[in-house]
Amino acid sequence: GWTMASFVETELAALKEKVGDDEVVCALSGGVDSTVVAVMLHKAIGKKLHCIFVDNGLLRLGEGEEVAAYLREHFDLNLHYINASKLFLDRLAGVTDPEQKRKIIGTSFIEVFEVEAAKLPKVKYLAQGTLYPDVIESVSFKGPSAVIKSHHNVGGLPDVMKLELIEPLRELFKDEVRKVAVELGMPDFIIWRHPFPGPGLAIRIIGEVTEERLEILRRTDKIVQSELLASGWYRKVWQGFAVLLPLKTVGVMGDGRTYENVAAIRVVDSLDAMTADWSRLPSEILASMSGRIINEVKGVNRVVFDISSKPPSTIEWE
């Protein structure tokens, strides 16, 4: 029968055969899909793989660094870490429309990626972590965010790249990718990492994205993540995160009145993100998230929990 072990074995041999003496570039996002693609290719072709990690300044606290550190520690691969935060944040200044944000982030990503890929003249292939649901439901994607992915979905790579696609996961669902990751001996913190959208925290800050708001959201989100992990709920849910609503409400702290932002907690159960339901988190977990956020994060004085299902709501707020 079909097993993960045989899938991996067959796929590694096929990749090796296909690539031959050529080189491959992949975009590493920090998520499980692109990391599995990178590890598979590294196992198949070693140093002929180049991974480009574009830090767009919209990542969560510690994200990226953690995955990069793991890859550097365990694999001798060509990892190109590009800090492009300033470019992204400058271009996002003053932008409030969600689709506009996605567009800016998507095109900027391609631009940065192309500049880096152009420095690797022997590269013939582009590897990406496209999954089966992306293949069949590409139209459901909200925009150019998984970038090359959605770009590909809407009709091919930018001409200048002239790279052939390699998509080793295109027949798999998310749970199968996780099984492949287990098979590859990858650590839990990567295998169980929740999906994270390409446009990152930009679509979890309603309205304009600023450094200050990013900082507030990172600290809020970190608490949501750590409470999910500490309670064992992280693995039970599909996705859990915080959203910053730059909407001021009144609070009271000690003797004083506060007038600060609202943070929303969004935690959902899902199988493939096409439909989702809000997770019935125990109230003690919600209480400790809320208590910690309001006490520890300056700039938030009220926390709400999102009890909407998809459809008709979406998982992300933008």
143 binds ligand XMP (CB under 6 A): yes
Q: Is residue 199 near ligand XMP by the rule CB under 6 A?
A: yes
Of residues 145, 220, 290, 301, which one binds ligand XMP by CB under 6 A? 145
Instruction: Find the binding residues for ligand XMP in span 56-75 (CB under 6 A).
Output: none
Does the footprint of ligand XMP cover residue 26 (CB under 6 A)?
A: no
| Piece of 122-130, 142-150, 177-185, 286-294 that binds ligand XMP (CB under 6 A) | 142-150
Q: How far apart are CA 52 and CA 113, in angstroms?
A: 7
Q: Which is nearer to ligand XMP, 210 or 308 (CB)?
A: 308
Q: Is 41 in the site for ligand XMP (CB under 6 A)?
A: no
Residue 30 marked in a binding site: yes
**Residue 155 burial (CB count, 10 A):** 6
Instruction: Report how far residue 207's alpha carbon sits from residue 218's, in angstroms, rounded to the nearest whole number.
Output: 16
What Rg value do the Cα atoms of the chain yield, rounded?
Answer: 20
* Alpha carbon 20 to its chain's center: 30
- Which parts of the chain fold into alpha helices (H)? 4-19, 32-45, 65-74, 85-92, 98-117, 132-136, 148-153, 174-183, 188-191, 211-231, 283-296
Could you tell me if 127 and 41 are in contact, meaning their C-beta atoms sit under 8 angstroms apart?
yes
Choose between 77 and 315: whose C-beta lies nearer to ligand XMP.
315
> Rounded to whole angstroms, how far apart are CA atoms 141 and 51?
24
Q: Rule CB under 6 A: is residue 273 a binding residue for ligand XMP?
A: yes
How many contiguous H segments (helices) and E segments (strands) does the chain have?
A: 11, 9
Quick one: which segment of 38-46, 68-76, 129-137, 194-202 binds ligand XMP (CB under 6 A)? 194-202
Q: Does 200 bind ligand XMP (CB under 6 A)?
A: no
Q: Which is nearer to ligand XMP, 8 or 241 (CB)?
A: 241
Structure tokens at 82: 């590009």
Please tell me whether 33 is known to bind a ligand.
yes
Nearest residue relative to ligand XMP (C-beta): 145
Task: Summarize as ranges the residues that interact with ligand XMP (CB under 6 A).
Answer: 102, 142-143, 145-146, 195, 197-199, 239, 273, 310, 314-316
Which residues belong to the annotated binding site for ATP? Answer: 29-35
